[in-house]
Amino acid sequence: MDSWGAKMISAIEVVAEMAAIGFGLSKDAFTSLMKEGPHLLAPTGSNLLRHGSEGTVFAGFHYDLNFLTIHGRSRFPGLNIWLRNGKKMEVKVPVGCLLIQSGKQLEWLTGGECLAGMHEVVVTKRTLEAIELAKEQNRSLWRISSTLFSHIASDATLKPLGHFAEAPNAHSYPPICAGEYVEQELSAINLKGKVAL
């Protein structure tokens, strides 16, 4: 798992550098903020033999609060994303490829120019077709998602970088410590742990 996580972080760092250059920022504009970030490798498994009914929701409509999220290709479809125009679209990751989604921390650093991607994971007709094929081939019916959530370091400041400070919605993204921002998000969705006295 450490080896796979390190490879996924390396891929994220390359994409972050490419994005920074493409946005007209210094190459390390994002990666310098990621150093010592609380990156999270969070594989999930769903038993489709038990939970394989059409419409079963594994992850409801949401955005990721981190910087960039990277996924390996799942053996079963079911990930849907929403485009900026509100259109829902099924994700099809080619064999040998990874999927990267923007998170809320990237949205903050770009003053809202690059929005956090809305998405869900649900059993669809294509999932059911893949289940039937897996049964015929005597393959596992576990849907495994290999996901890594890359983060900006908790003590780094989230604020629109460079020319993004002049973006039309930059005022909606005031400076905040990344760790404080994550705590606010977790509290809002009732995932913040209780403080021991």
CATH code for the domain in which residue 159 is found: 2.60.120.330
Q: 96-139 pLDDT, tens per residue?
A: 999 999 999 999 999 999 999 999 999 999 999 999 999 999 99
Q: Is residue 194 included in any domain, yes or no?
A: no
Q: 35-64 pLDDT, tens per residue?
A: 999 999 998 889 999 999 999 999 889 999
pLDDT at 197 over 80: no
Q: 174-193 pLDDT, tens per residue?
A: 999 999 999 999 988 877 76
**Residue 158 structural domain:** 1-189
What is the count of structural domains for the chain?
1
Q: Is residue 196 included in any domain, yes or no?
A: no
Q: What would the two tokens of residue 70 be?
A: 């990277």
Q: Is residue 195 included in any domain, yes or no?
A: no
User: 95: buried, middle or exposed (CB in 10 Å: 19+, 13-18, 0-12)?
Assistant: exposed
